[in-house]
Amino acid sequence: MDKMENYIIDLTDSRIVGTSYEFVIGDSFFEQFGGIISRGDIHTVVTCEYSGSLFRFSIHSEGKVITPCDRCLADVELMIDTTDMLVAKLGTSYSDDGDCVTVDSNDGELDLSSFIYEFITLSLPVKRVHKDNECNLEMISVLKKYQIDIESEDL
């Protein structure tokens, strides 16, 4: 298995088919995207199959991420275990219609990082909260006070 420093795969290189790529994803990866995940420790394995001029990437990510709790805003740790498919093909210019990514055959480069990030984000639960009684109570009381202030301003 190859350990990758970056997330770019060259679709014009026939050696990618049948190869497994392994990524160790840490805090800097999530910081770069600046989304709801603030930190993380994820192990991702990508395999590639090719048939009928389509590349099918199976992307499996497992580990943990840190996001703000919906209730108290303090860090909450969530476990991730998701397997997703990404379909790509070579064409005249880069495009992504949601079902298939077309990569310009002149350079053949597909950057997997944003897809890996998206799949991890989509696998998060809708409600990201601490278990009962594990929320930061001090924070909640501050938030509640703030909420009441806003409500009284509306009157």
Q: Which of 56, 60, 128, 130 binds Zn ion (CB under 5 A)?
A: 130
Number of residues that bind Zn ion (CB under 5 A): 5
Task: Quickly count: other Cβ atoms within 10 Å of residue 151's Cβ.
Answer: 9
Asked if residues 3 and 9 have their Cβ atoms less than 8 Å apart, the reply is: no
Q: Which of residues 72-91 bind Zn ion (CB under 5 A)?
A: 72
Return the residue nearest Zn ion (CB atom): 69
Q: Which helix or strand (DSSP H or E) is residue 49 part of?
A: strand 39-51
Number of helical (H) and strand (E) elements in the chain, helices listed first: 3, 9
- Alpha-carbon span 33 to 59, nearest angstrom: 19
Q: Which stretch binds Zn ion (CB under 5 A): 22-30, 51-59, 113-121, 122-130?
A: 122-130
Q: Which of 9, 69, 80, 103 binds Zn ion (CB under 5 A)?
A: 69
Rule CB under 5 A: say whether 128 interacts with Zn ion: no
Residues making contact with Zn ion (CB under 5 A): 69, 71-72, 130, 135
